[in-house]
Amino acid sequence: MEWRSWLRRWSEEWVRSADPEPDPEVVRTGWLGFEPATEQAVAAAEARIGMRLPPSYREFLLTTDGWRDAGIFVWRMRDTSDVGWLRELEPHWDDSWAELCEDDEQEGTCLSRGLLISREADAGILFLDPGDVDDAGEWAAYNLFSWRAAPPERFASFTALMEDLYAEFHQMRKPEGETRDSWDAKVEQARLDALSGDADAADAVLAEAEEFGRERATVLRAQLQLYLDRRSGHSFGRLLHPDFVPEGFLADPLFTEEFLPLLFAQHAECSTPGRSSQLQMAMNGNNPDLHLLVAAYQARLHNGERPMTYGNPEFDALVRNAVDEHGADPDALWRDIDVAFAHWRPRTPDHIAPVTLLADPLVAAALTPERRRNLLSRPRGDRR
């Protein structure tokens, strides 16, 4: 990590996006950090704790002795004068949360061994674990916030922890600048890669872009994950979250003609008592535009209409014929869809997979995970 240039960019983006206005000193200097620690100050801190600090954290301190506003929920990090053992500085964390730490062969837990590196935070802490060291000498790093009601989150190193905090800042503040522009370019390339048939590479890039708050990445990735059948993915669920929905998204054909029918289909399958569908959870929110869309769709269903189309007219006609002829035979239905897929075209620039196929129970049954991946592996749209 080139700490100086990276932290300088972080500082400049923070100043541009901060609301309310940050510390006047930060505005004046364009720097969230402080003066670099001296080698003597770092050595004194190491002598006090009885261990040499891990390389990335050591270099960080030699760049800035402390840091303001690490992410959104950590307001001040410790410096060489007060970094120390968690069990001595804030022992209540180990007393209250130790049972949620994973067992390992080391004595104690990551909390009881932890080196506390945060000073002020929103009911949370950052710490390093000297009992979990990699071949490069890096200590595992953790964050823990009581309001998340979850175990400490592990990162491979202090650098990885700081990168996550930086992504969190971007996700919540969305500052203009080089980082945002770079991720937008990567998202567009991932879209092209997905249409070219390289779904896994596209999914990996979009996953990172989501962490940086790029909403378009969520729209694209939700389509891939439905076909990759990755149950751990949450992109589809994010589409209707009140904090996500961008202006105009609910009126876009990608939502009204692709995602909405699937939401209704999933709702029909969600019959377990006490379990809410994603559509129900979204309807609990205060979103009048969504309520109107859902009411209109329900009315069309009630009137006996078939509001869903499978895609562009040529592809839609071929799939309808296949369903009418082979709906009870999944293998025969798949063979016709396999042929018809050459005629599929995106409805919008961000449409990269035929989501509505999954909204039809007969078609969805014919599309096994292997067949879904098969469709994603083919060049399509303007990449054919």
Helix (H) or strand (E) holding 193: helix 178-195
* Residue 339, in any domain of the structure: no
* Residue 137, in any domain of the structure: yes
* Rounded Cα gap, residues 283 and 291, in angstroms: 7
* Residue 332, in any domain of the structure: no
- Residue listed under structure tokens 């700490």: 3
* Residue 88, in any domain of the structure: yes
* Residue 163, in any domain of the structure: yes
DSSP string, 323-380: HHHHTT-HHHHHHHHHHHGGG---SSTT--S-GGGGGSHHHHHH--HHHHHHHHTS--
Give the model's pLDDT for residue 232: 45
Number of structural domains (the chain) is: 1
* Residue 135, in any domain of the structure: yes
Give 28's pLDDT tier (boundaries 50, 70, 90): confident
Predicted TM-score (pTM) above 0.75: yes
- Tell me which of 21-30, 86-95, 101-110, 343-352 is least confident: 101-110
- pLDDT exceeds 60 at position 231: no
Write out pLDDT tens, residues 115-156: 999 999 999 999 999 999 999 999 999 999 999 888 899 999
Domain interval for residue 66 = 3-173
* Residue 340, in any domain of the structure: no
- pLDDT exceeds 60 at position 377: yes
* Residue 367, in any domain of the structure: no
Write out pLDDT tens, residues 232-242: 457 777 887 77
Angle between helices 215-228 and 178-195 (to 10 degrees): 30
- Whether omega for the bond prior to residue 24 falls within 30 degrees of 0, making it cis, is no
- Tell me which of 24-28, 171-175, 186-190 is least confident: 24-28
**Mean pLDDT to the nearest integer, 231-255:** 77
CATH code of the domain containing 75: 3.40.1580.10
Residue of 71 and 4 predicted with greater confidence: 4
